């Protein structure tokens, strides 16, 4: 099981447990509910990975200008990620 699947499974279990404890939801089929929460979390993680890949690609397309300007790559990556997320309606 890849790392993001493990993370999604643990987070889904924790979220579902907390929602049930606080009586926010009533669960009749816990495995199905956990699977639904896990699926949503996985979709979010995958969307964030695509966002990161797109940001890196965009910076690679402008690598020469970045090197010439001696800009901080990590700082630029963060700004590009934020802009792409905002444009796509994605909350980081």
Give the per-residue pLDDT at 66. 87
CB 45 within 8 Å of CB 9: no
Give the per-residue pLDDT at 1. 52
Residues 1-34 have pLDDT tens digits of: 578 899 999 999 999 999 999 999 999 999 999 9
* Domain boundaries of the chain, sorted by first residue: 3-88
Give the per-residue pLDDT at 24. 94
Give me the half-sphere count of Cα atoms (radius 13 Å) on the Cβ side of residue 74. Answer: 0
Residues 54-84 have pLDDT tens digits of: 999 999 999 888 888 888 999 999 999 999 9
């Amino acid at each position: 099981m890849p790392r993001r699947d493990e993370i999604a499974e643990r987070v889904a279990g924790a979220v579902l447990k907390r929602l049930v404890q606080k009586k926010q939801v009533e669960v009749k089929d816990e495995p199905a509910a956990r699977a639904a929460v896990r699926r949503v979390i996985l979709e979010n993680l995958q969307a964030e990975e695509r966002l990161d890949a797109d940001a890196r690609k965009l910076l690679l397309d402008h690598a020469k200008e970045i090197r010439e300007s001696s800009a901080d790559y990590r700082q630029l990556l963060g700004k590009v990620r934020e802009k792409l997320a905002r444009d796509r309606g994605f909350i980081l």
